[in-house]
Amino acid sequence: MDGRVQSAEVNMKCLHCQGEMARGFAPFHVDRSGCHVVLDRVSAWICGQCGEAYFEEPEVDAIQDLIRSVEQNAKKLAATG
C-alpha cells in the first residue's frame, strides 16, 4: 500500500473556494516547444463549487512524461527542418 487515503475516505476542500471536491475528469492543456498538447479527460479531483481541478501524483507523473516526450520529439523535428 502506498499510504494514500482512498477517495471514498477523503473529505477534500478546494483551496480556492473551500467547496467540496469529488472524483471526476478534467481537461488538461499546455503549450511547449511550439506544440499544443490537449488531454480531454484526465482523472482528477473537481470542485463542485468553482470547478477547479486537482490532479494526483500518478496523473501528474504521466502528464510530465508525455510533455518530456513531446519536447524531445519537437527538438528532433526542428533539427531536421
Ordered by start, the domain boundaries in the chain are 10-80
For CA atoms 12, 16, 65, 23, the dihedral sign is: positive
Is the model more confident about 32 or about 5? Answer: 32
Q: What CATH topology corresponds to 10-80?
A: Ubiquitin-like (UB roll) (3.10.20)
Predicted confidence (pLDDT) per residue in 30-45, tens digit: 998 788 999 999 999 9
Name every residue whose Cβ is closer than 8 Å to that of residue 77 and which is 6 or more positions away in sequence.
none
pLDDT, position 81: 56
Predicted confidence (pLDDT) per residue in 8-61, tens digit: 556 899 999 999 999 999 999 999 878 899 999 999 999 999 999 999 999 999
User: Which residue has 511547449 as its cell numbers?
Assistant: 32
pLDDT, position 10: 67
Can you tell me the distance from the alpha carbon of 2 to that of 31, in angstroms, rounded to the nearest whole number?
Answer: 32
